[in-house]
Structure 1
């Protein structure tokens, strides 16, 4: 059964932004989140856990990018989350 056309993104640029937001933006959020966990907890344990949870988190963030109505907003959310998770490394705390 094909998808209903009214729910599909019509602009090729919006499609490109959603794909890149899901792929790259989701990856950046996932990496920065696990680095933050490595800063809070023992890094050895976080690396072992990240081997499994990283793929799950990345897949969920990839899916969320396609569910969003605006690709610009999802890029903004992913960049803000990446910045928040990277604060300890940016400030060298």
Structure 2
């Protein structure tokens, strides 16, 4: 039985969701761990980033596909990445 057309997104929205999940999720994850290096010792953050980074990235990837509008998720991910990176940049 084919899927109902009203639940499918357009090809461009699908592309935006994929890129937001992969690229935007990675930017948020990376900037979050940079922020953590300001709060904790760098060696501790680097050790835990291997595990927590993958979990955070996978969660953000999933959230991108659950969103109805891909533009909103891109804006949210870019704002979060900027918010997390700003203290590191100002230091």
TM-score range for the pair, normalised by the shorter chain length? over 0.9
Q: Deviations for 1:44-76, whole angstroms, at most 9, x for unmatched residues? A: 000000010100100000000000000000000
Give the alignment's TM-score, normalised by structure 2. 0.92
Once the 2 structures are TM-superposed, how far is the Cα of residue 88 of structure 1 from its aligned partner? 1.3
Aligned residues: 91
The 2-side partners of 1:64 and 1:56 are apart by 12
Give the alignment's TM-score, normalised by structure 1. 0.90
Q: Return structure 1 stretches of 4+ with deviation > 2 angstroms.
A: 1-8
SS in 2 for 1:86: helix
Once the 2 structures are TM-superposed, how far is the Cα of residue 4 of structure 1 from its aligned partner? 4.9
**Structure 1 runs not aligned, ≥5 long:** none
Check if 1:57 corresponds to 2:46. no
1:11-90 superposed matches below 5 A: 11-90=10-89
Match of 1:6 in 2: 6
Once the 2 structures are TM-superposed, how far is the Cα of residue 33 of structure 1 from its aligned partner? 0.3
Once the 2 structures are TM-superposed, how far is the Cα of residue 6 of structure 1 from its aligned partner? 3.1
**Structure 2 runs not aligned, ≥5 long:** none
Q: Deviations for 1:16-60, whole angstroms, at most 9, x for unmatched residues? A: 000000000000000000110011100100000001010010000
The 2-side partners of 1:66 and 1:25 are apart by 12
C-alpha RMSD of the superposition? 1.4
